[in-house]
């Protein structure tokens, strides 16, 4: 993480990215290689080797500080919430009922066999939309979802929406 954090600073990114990628890490690792030569005192106790110990402490402090900086600016909780996996076992989908048959015919090609979404469409499990909104979206589309995806009677639309809502309730 500390190397990535380095690349966030202006003096080490953009036009200066070579500084962040090569020069600064190169100096640090170069110093590590040179440490035995820079500090040739015969003493073996830490206080008798101020240069080597100082370089090591500086390196350690830099690694810890940069790593801390890189992770402290991330809102981990929001990120975890957004990426929360849906355990397949938690989802009960009644594939025998009429709702699923309608879903299969109208929505499944994009939203996936298990309502978990596909390459081009989001999951319908965990949707924030209410039943009324889902019915409206099925007829009028939303964003990049084209309109008129649902073909059928009002009764079938209601069954479809009830089905999606019930799967969502089961997944909570
Ligand atoms: C052609 C592919 C396609 C089909 C078929 C399709 N959808 Fe969608 N749907 C999408 C895409 C793409 C989005 C994302 C739209 C956006 O946010 O820009 C979406 C979004 C949605 C959303 C909002 C999801 C959310 O939480 O943001 C709902 C609800 C929805 N679709 C319901 C349905 C229903 C019900 C059907 C069947 C009647 C259906 N869709 C059929 C492509 C499709």
* pLDDT tens track for 88-108: 666 778 899 999 999 999 999
98: which residues sit within 8 A by CB, 6+ positions away?
Answer: 156, 159, 163
C-alpha of residue 57 to centroid of ligand 1, in Å? 55
* CB distance 126 to ligand 1 below 6 Å: no
The mean pLDDT value of the chain amounts to 89
For the segment 71-91, what is each residue's pLDDT rounded down to a tens digit? 887 788 888 887 877 666 667
Is the minimum distance from the CB of 115 to ligand 1 under 6 angstroms?
no
Q: Tell me the pLDDT band of 41, cut-offs 50, 70 and 90.
A: confident
Ligand 1 in reach of 105 Cβ (< 6 A): no
- Closest atom of ligand 1 relative to the 160 alpha carbon: 35
Cα Rg of the chain (Å, integer)? 29
Average pLDDT over residues 131-148: 96
């Amino acid at each position: 993480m500390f190397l990535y954090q380095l690349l966030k600073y202006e003096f080490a990114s953009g036009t200066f990215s070579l500084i962040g990628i090569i020069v600064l890490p190169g100096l640090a690792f170069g110093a590590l290689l040179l440490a035995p030569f820079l500090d040739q005192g015969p003493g073996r106790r830490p206080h008798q080797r101020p240069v080597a110990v100082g370089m090591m402490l500086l390196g350690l402090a830099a690694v810890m500080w940069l790593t801390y900086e890189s992770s402290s600016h991330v809102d981990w909780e929001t990120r975890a919430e957004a990426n929360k996996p849906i355990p397949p076992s938690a989802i009960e989908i009644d594939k025998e009922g009429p709702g699923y048959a309608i879903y299969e015919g109208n929505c499944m090609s994009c939203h996936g066999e298990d309502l978990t979404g596909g390459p081009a469409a989001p999951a319908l499990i965990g949707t924030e939309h209410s039943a009324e909104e889902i019915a409206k979206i099925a007829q009028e589309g939303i964003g990049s979802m084209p309109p008129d995806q649902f073909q059928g009677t009002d009764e079938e639309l209601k069954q479809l929406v009830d089905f999606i809502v019930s799967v969502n309730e089961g997944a909570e």
